[in-house]
Structure 1
């Protein structure tokens, strides 16, 4: 499932992207909640703990404009650390 919105991405992008390694280890820059949610739904490893669930829910809330997108970046980073996919 790919999540699409009619919103302008510049309205929901993070100030600094999060670089992750998914699939074959190729680094990918995640620039906001929409790309984070798509990555979590399509390319995430099997490791899906508390941080994953929180970040997934918050990404959906940010896309619905219920929470500020900038406020959930740290939650997404925590999910990446939990899954050992954060590229440094």
Structure 2
């Protein structure tokens, strides 16, 4: 089995049950956490996350699917997944719209 250390386009930050936050940058990080440090060893979303992470490491499943499955498993285990928002798109050539007053 060839293992690819593949990163997600955006890391997933998880608030653990103890209150600490931990970031996961890709499939290998997530799978290691699922298999070795996971607080619950059961659950539909946990099982799916393990399977999709393994599949993504073998290029059988898209990375985005493994990332979404990992987030879902975190939520199932009552760990908040704190996902960083994307960059705001700015368009400096557009002027702000002024409110219209109807007198």
What TM-score do the two structures reach when normalised by structure 1? 0.77
Unpaired stretches in structure 2, ≥5 consecutive residues: 83-103
Q: CA deviation at 1:17?
A: 1.0
For the 8 Å contact 2:31–2:53, the answer to whether it is kept is yes
Q: Tell me, in whole angstroms, the C-alpha distance in 1 between the residues paired with 2:14 and 2:41.
A: 14
Who wins on radius of gyration, i.e. which is larger?
2
Aligned counterpart, 2:65: 71
For the 8 Å contact 1:23–1:43, the answer to whether it is kept is no
How many aligned positions are there? Answer: 81
Question: Any residues of structure 2 matched to 1:1-88 within 5 Å, and which?
Answer: 5=3, 7=4, 9=5, 12-22=6-16, 24-46=18-40, 48-88=42-82
For the 8 Å contact 1:19–1:30, the answer to whether it is kept is yes
Higher-strand-fraction structure: 2
Q: Tell me, in whole angstroms, the C-alpha distance in 1 between the residues paired with 2:81 and 2:69.
A: 16
For the 8 Å contact 1:17–1:32, the answer to whether it is kept is yes
CA RMSD of aligned residues (A): 2.1
Unpaired stretches in structure 1, ≥5 consecutive residues: none
What TM-score do the two structures reach when normalised by structure 2? 0.67
Change (3 A) 1:22 1:41: farther
Higher-helix-fraction structure: 1
